């Protein structure tokens, strides 16, 4: 099976510091790939490069065979094929839930208002939010806001969804409902690249787990192998710390 997303030799520098160092990674269709590692290891930067929110300093990224790091690429056209969900929700506070979800399908993809609203309501119902269509973000719990953010990403029918620590801003009791949505997305065959600190969930849901350390993709493999018998001492030390904190 060919790769939907291919990252080859990607470097990214900020103010003279290399935050990504020659990253090689492939995400195949219907696969869930998780990025783990300490804060500052480069996980979120890698997602932002994949969505062209950051430009790479060296290397190539391809989406469905197209080199999207080519300076001549249509950035908006690339982003039409991707959904991204941030840890801070990023909903427009002055818009209702329905307006937040239908904005991109209508303005970017040219979908009619009637069709966009019907599809949005169908998605809201699927994820237990049918009664929140006319609510504003500040009338929702954090878990509900994050679920709306996921629905908004799905509304454009992306080939790939990028999820950046989508539970880190939530109270512990709200984490479960958001993880439930991600589990449903996997069961539906959605292709996902995500960063997470939820290690037990990562082990359950991932097809491939990648450990980043200091901007280097140090180790990757199936979750049982990486969590059960990692090759590198640095990976073992990181996972030991996770276990001691009760997160695995």
Question: Residues 198-215: pLDDT tens digits?
Answer: 898 899 999 999 999 999
Residues 166 and 248 in one domain: yes
Does residue 248 sit in the same domain as residue 171?
Answer: yes
Domain count, the chain: 2
- 65 shares its domain with 125: no
Q: pLDDT-derived band of residue 66, with 50, 70 and 90 as boundaries? A: very high
**Do 33 and 135 sit in the same domain of this protein?**
no
Q: What is the dihedral of CA 6, 12, 18, 22, to 10 degrees?
A: 20
Phi, psi at residue 184, to the nearest 5°? Answer: -65, -40
Write out 61-86 in H/E/C secondary structure.
EEECCEECCCCCCCHHHHHCCEEEEC
Average pLDDT, the chain: 92
**So what's the pLDDT on residue 75?**
92
My answer on whether 193 and 231 are in the same domain is yes
What is the rounded average pLDDT of the residues 111-124?
94
**25 and 142 fall within a common domain:** no
Asked if 213 and 192 count as a contact pair (C-beta separation under 8 A), the reply is no
Boundaries of domain holding 169 = 1-81+162-248
Tokens of 11: 């470097």
Q: What is the CATH number of the domain that holds 57?
A: 3.40.50.300
Same domain for 111 and 203? Answer: no
Q: What is the mean pLDDT of residues 154-165?
A: 92
Q: Are residues 13 and 76 in the same domain?
A: yes
Give the C-alpha separation, 35 to 42, whole Å.
Answer: 9
Q: From CA 240, how far away is CA 125, in angstroms rounded?
A: 40
Predicted structure pTM score = 0.92
The answer on 166 and 43 residing in a single domain is: yes
Confidence class of residue 177 from pLDDT cuts 50, 70 and 90? confident
């Amino acid at each position: 099976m060919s790769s939907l997303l291919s990252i080859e030799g990607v470097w990214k520098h900020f103010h003279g510091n290399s935050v990504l160092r020659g990253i090689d990674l492939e995400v195949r269709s219907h696969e869930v790939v998780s990025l783990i590692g300490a804060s500052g290891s480069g996980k979120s930067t890698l997602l932002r490069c994949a969505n062209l929110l950051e430009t790479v300093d060296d290397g190539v990224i391809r989406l469905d065979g197209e080199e999207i790091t080519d300076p001549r690429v249509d950035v908006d056209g690339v982003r039409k094929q991707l959904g991204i969900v941030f840890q801070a929700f990023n909903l427009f506070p002055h818009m209702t839930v329905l307006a937040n979800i239908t904005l991109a399908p209508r303005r970017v993809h040219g979908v009619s208002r009637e069709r966009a609203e019907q599809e949005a309501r169908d998605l809201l119902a699927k994820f237990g939010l049918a009664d929140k269509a006319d609510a504003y973000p500040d009338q929702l719990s954090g878990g509900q806001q994050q679920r709306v953010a996921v629905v908004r990403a799905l509304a454009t029918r992306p080939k790939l969804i990028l999820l950046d620590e989508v539970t880190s801003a939530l109270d512990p009791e709200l984490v479960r409902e958001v993880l439930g949505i991600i589990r449903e997305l996997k069961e539906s065959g959605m292709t996902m690249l995500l960063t997470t600190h939820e290690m037990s969930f990562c082990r359950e849901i991932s097809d491939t787990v990648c450990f980043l350390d200091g901007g280097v993709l140090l180790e990757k493999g199936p979750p049982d192998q990486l969590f059960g018998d990692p090759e590198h001492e640095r990976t073992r030390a990181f996972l030991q710390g996770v276990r001691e904190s009760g997160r695995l």
